[in-house]
Structure 1
């Protein structure tokens, strides 16, 4: 006959674990003998080893008691259910591991590979890391809303980078602006004002080109205003100079950044 310490050691668990199994009714607790100690026989050892084996396999303690009492068919069915559950957990954990691995990559967190490729292309063109970081956050918003449209959108963006030097110039000017310091009291100095004027001119020029070619037509996405508003709001939150830039764009007859729209002239 074994003491609780000997039982625990034989089965490869702790005394605390044995007492916990007693408390939840998983392992029967023997009566004390004449000397006041609880003694465990061979059946208790076998039961504890079975419990330990099932617990180590991932079976919830709440289900082990029923499994130990089940017939062969019921036991096999229960094992299959547990296996299915564990398979799902493994898939979830594998997904989590991939997401954790993406943390090291930085850009790829919460954005698809197509976006990462686009961001790398921006870096090749000399776009600053601050602008790229802003792009990452913007693409997180877009990808969350239209995950099935990302490849299409990125293909269009890459095509625009390749054929339109104005787009590249815009990114480079924005890089210069975002890396410059704000003047005292956030007032823009003369050089900064000139840069903003040039950015506004390019933005309007690109909007007019897109409008002439039908490129400002976002299809069914145009009816979903929230993502556009969020991306534009993100830019405003990141840099107060964006407000001045959008005012300049409005002065030129357009409104918006992500989805530029021509302002209607007031009736005479």
Structure 2
């Protein structure tokens, strides 16, 4: 028979933790001896090791209490589920660690290879470095917040740029960056973009991330903030498309 302090040292927890487990009903509290001390045996130590292992795995104390009284098969099935959850957490932590290491190395572009190749194509087609960097940053945001839909949205835009006419519109949009917002060329460009959009999506809805997502507005707001001309183009396009 050992004291609570000895039990704590053997198992690797604090006496306070053991008292919490007593209060929560996870570990039965033994009777006190003639000297007023609680005395624990080997079975208590084994039970405490089980509780500590589950707690370290992130299992809530209330669930541990239920598992302690569950039938053996239910207990083992719960352990398998907890193991699966841990596996997913480990994968998530490994992905986070990889991003952290890229950040430490100065690499802020955790983008798929097809996106990186597309960014190189933009430079080769004559887009400004300003436009390429803006596209890179925006795709980082899209892939980080909507990994399930980002790929389809990216491929739609990349496909549109394979059309020389549409690519020309994007190039004009890029070059409009420094124009005065009242320049007549702004109105003409907005009209041409609107016409091209209607033609491309005549029988389909405009591709989007999520109707409830705030990311598209955040992205367009970032673009608009970069140039008064771009902001006016967006205003005109929205008015003409009624979006």
Above 0.5 in TM-score? yes
What's the Cα RMSD here?
4.7
* Superposed displacement of residue 221, structure 1: 2.7
User: In 1, Cα distance between the equivalents of 2:172 and 2:164?
Assistant: 12
What residue is the counterpart of 2:200 in the other structure? Answer: 217
Structure 1's unaligned 5+ residue stretches are 178-191, 262-268
Specify which structure has the bigger relative contact order, considering alpha-carbon pairs within 8 angstroms and separated by 6 or more residues: 2
* Superposed displacement of residue 24, structure 1: 0.8
8 Å CA contact retained: 2:187, 2:233? no
Aligned to 1:33, the other structure's residue is in SS state coil
Mean Cα deviation higher: 79-88 or 14-23: 79-88
What residue is the counterpart of 2:82 in the other structure? Answer: 82
Mean Cα deviation higher: 19-28 or 121-130: 121-130
Match of 1:235 among 206, 219, 223: 223
8 Å CA contact retained: 2:153, 2:207? no
**CA separation of 1:204 and 1:127: change in aligned 2, threshold 3 A:** same
Aligned to 1:2, the other structure's residue is in SS state coil
What residue is the counterpart of 2:237 in the other structure? Answer: 256
User: In 2, Cα distance between the equivalents of 1:15 and 1:27?
Assistant: 13
How big is each residue's C-alpha offset from its partner over 1:189-241, in whole Å with a ceiling of 9 and x where there is no partner? xxx65x99596499479659x75xx98432313598x89x9466553333234
What residue is the counterpart of 1:160 in the other structure? Answer: 164
**CA separation of 1:102 and 1:3: change in aligned 2, threshold 3 A:** same
Which has the higher Rg, Structure 1 or Structure 2? 1
Query: Residues 38-117 of structure 1 correspond to what in structure 2 (within 5 A)?
Result: 38-90=38-90, 92-93=92-93, 105-108=107-110, 114-117=114-117
What residue is the counterpart of 1:265 in the other structure? Answer: none
8 Å CA contact retained: 2:126, 2:171? no
Structure 2's unaligned 5+ residue stretches are none
Output the TM-score relative to the length of structure 1: 0.59
User: In 1, Cα distance between the equivalents of 2:57 and 2:193?
Assistant: 61
What residue is the counterpart of 2:121 in the other structure? Answer: 121
Aligned to 1:75, the other structure's residue is in SS state helix
User: In 2, Cα distance between the equivalents of 1:66 and 1:29?
Assistant: 17
| Number of matched pairs | 228
8 Å CA contact retained: 1:166, 1:202? no
8 Å CA contact retained: 1:167, 1:206? no
8 Å CA contact retained: 1:118, 1:158? no
Mean Cα deviation higher: 92-101 or 34-43: 92-101
User: In 2, Cα distance between the equivalents of 1:102 and 1:174?
Assistant: 34
8 Å CA contact retained: 2:4, 2:40? yes
